[in-house]
Structure 1
Amino acid sequence: MESRVAVIGGGNMGYALGCSLVHKVLNKPEDLLIVERKGNRAEYILNALKCNVEQKINSRVREFGIIVVAVKPQEAEEALHELKEYIFERHIVISIMAGVPISFISDKLGGHERIVRCMPNLPGQIGVGITVYFGRYGFSAEDYVAVERVLSSMGAVLRVAEEDLIDGATAISGTGPGYMFYIIDSMVSAAVDLGFSYREAESMIAEFIKGSVELWLQSDLKPDTLLKMVASEGGTTEAALVVFNKHHLDEIIRDGIKAAYERAKKLIG
């Protein structure tokens, strides 16, 4: 049963997970069920993935050993209420709902214990993301293998020892791509101001970001050490850093991440 997966919610992340599962993990499309309320969206998913598609949570979910809840946090209570009727003790429930604690999920599912809470991110849509997850209790080593088999279809997987770290992951890796796109957009605009075409700016910035990350990963050096290697005294990097430090950019970044963390803890409220 654990080789079959039901996904509740066919939005961007639910659909992306479904695509990854069909193409990388499951033996056949029939091993996947996606529940999507919107008729047009449900039809699109059916045509694209050739998997099982339902517009309402119903008894069919009982045929699937792992149930992934991928609805918006604001829709959590209604979805879990509907799901409660069809949950067995053996089911593994994986939540990718930001800010929704396991205690809330368990309560709405009538005390169900086999629950994993996780936070994927946008690059997971193309299989290069990272998903951070926490499982409360009631899991065997084989269960964790089954969970990671599902989550690794979207990229790297990190298991943490405390549930509160999932809110932290939401503010770092979950929201992080948004921070990067914000910075990239600002840099593209700056490059255009300097006379580059938009396409030239995108190409240049994409390549130096990829190269910088690859150098960091291969060198085993910390970012601050690599920064010192680039920022020679009296040079152009130092000139930019003087401006960044003048405006306390490091504090702004920390404050932004803290705000994201606090919001994550309040989403279900």
Structure 2
Amino acid sequence: MSQTKITFIGAGNMASSIIGGLVKKGYSAGQITATDTHQPTLDKVADSFPVVTTADNAAAAVRSNVIVLAVKPQVMEQVCTALKPHLAHKPMIISIAAGIDIRSLDTWLGNDLAIVRCMPNTPALVQTGASGLYANERTSDAQKAIANDIMEAVGIVQWTASEDLIDSVIAVSGSGPAYYFLMMEAMIDAGVAQGLSRENATQLTLQTALGAAKLAQDSDVDVVELRRRVSSPNGTTEKAIQSFENDNLREIVARAMQTCAERSKEMAKELGA
């Protein structure tokens, strides 16, 4: 990993979070370059981390063996097309853009490159992210290990068996934080409606969400058993769970996640080559 030279094309929040994680892991300043067209964004990164910053994508690309594409999906084609003449050294490409498939990246970048498609999520901003990765057939095991190490800087990494499953990753973890935020919002509002102050309801809700996730992560039993253990027969929790079940919560969640995955597929058609 000490020989890896990484360029981030786009230095926004997600890129800067990954950069921060890499610096904490021991990557040196000379290994990491961040580029952006917006100078204040580059200044923010430079103020936060001892890395190289530049507005010149091409110059940064030619001296890197890993390029992380961290730009918005809507400008990905333009960015890739401009990079294409500068990739003769065949760096590995890691894309963290939703809705852009490997076929499109291959078309825009050319040169038969190793490409890893990655879907991180916003908790990566606080180094507790969850990322799903898929690599094309030109990606070597050594390159996969590098991609794995980079994304582990901001959380856990899970590889998928096919690119289609990245749509499912988006439905589960990519968009997943918003589902939990909505649940927190609903619980806070319900607590306030029952008489709690908004501050009390907020703090109790957030700590409960954190504690439940930590307990599930550290437990040697699955979430089904954890739920059962909290739900005493004819008790308060069981009544609440029965209300959720009667309102078909499972079907509501499944429908929402299916809609999310389908939208990811639609975006690939709208934004892709």
- Which category of TM-score, normalised to the shorter sequence, fits these structures? over 0.9
Q: Does the aligned pair in 1 maintain the 2:116–2:139 contact within 8 Å?
A: no
Question: In structure 2, how many angstroms separate the alpha carbons of the residues matched to 1:218 and 1:18?
Answer: 28
Contact 2:62 2:89 in 1 (8 A): no
Dislocated runs of 4+, deviation >6 Å: none
Look up the match of 1:118.
Answer: 118
Q: Which residue matches 1:21? A: 22
1:192-229: per-residue Cα shift (whole Å, max 9, x none)? 22222233223322332233233323433232222222
Structure 2: 5+ residue runs without aligned partners?
Answer: none
Match of 1:85 in 2: 85
Check conservation: 1:134, 1:166, Cα contact below 8 A.
yes
C-alpha offsets along residues 23-67 of structure 1, whole Å, 9 cap, x if unaligned? 32412x232111111122222222222322222422231111100
Q: What corresponds to 1:66 in structure 2?
A: 66
Q: Deviations over 1:113-162 (max 9, x none)?
A: 30000111111112111111011112333222211121111111111211
Q: Which amino acid aligns with 1:6?
A: T
Q: Which amino acid in 2 is paired with 1:252?
A: I
Q: Matched residue of 2:157: which SS?
A: strand
Q: TM-score, normalised by structure 2?
A: 0.91
CA shift, 1:6, in A, is 0.3
> Paired residue for 1:8?
9
Q: What's the RMSD between the two structures over aligned residues?
A: 1.8
Q: Which runs of 5+ in 1 are unaligned?
A: none
Q: Is the 8 A contact 1:89 1:114 kept in 2?
A: no
Structure 1 pair 161–89 and aligned structure 2 pair: CA distance change class (3 A): farther
- Find the residue that maps to 2:94 and give its secondary structure: strand
- Preserved contact between residue 2 and residue 64 of structure 1 (Cα < 8 Å): no
Query: Contact 1:73 / 1:267 at 8 angstroms: preserved in 2?
Result: no
Q: Partner of 2:228 in structure 1?
A: 228
Deviations 1:154-211 (A, max 9, x none): 1111112111111110111111111111111111111222222233223322332233
Q: Note if contact 1:25-1:149 (Cα within 8 Å) is conserved in structure 2.
A: no
Query: Map of 1:25-36 to 2, 5 A cutoff?
Result: 25-27=26-28, 29-36=29-36
Cα contact 2:90–2:113 (8 A) shared by 1: no
Q: Is the 8 A contact 1:128 1:154 kept in 2?
A: yes
Q: Give the structure-1-normalised TM-score.
A: 0.92
Q: Distance in 2 between matches of 1:81 and 1:48?
A: 30
In the alignment, the residues of structure 1 paired with residue 111 and residue 79 of structure 2 have an alpha-carbon distance, to the nearest angstrom, of 16
One-letter amino acid of the structure 2 residue matched with residue 3 of structure 1: T
Quick one: distance in 2 between partners of 1:60 and 1:204?
47
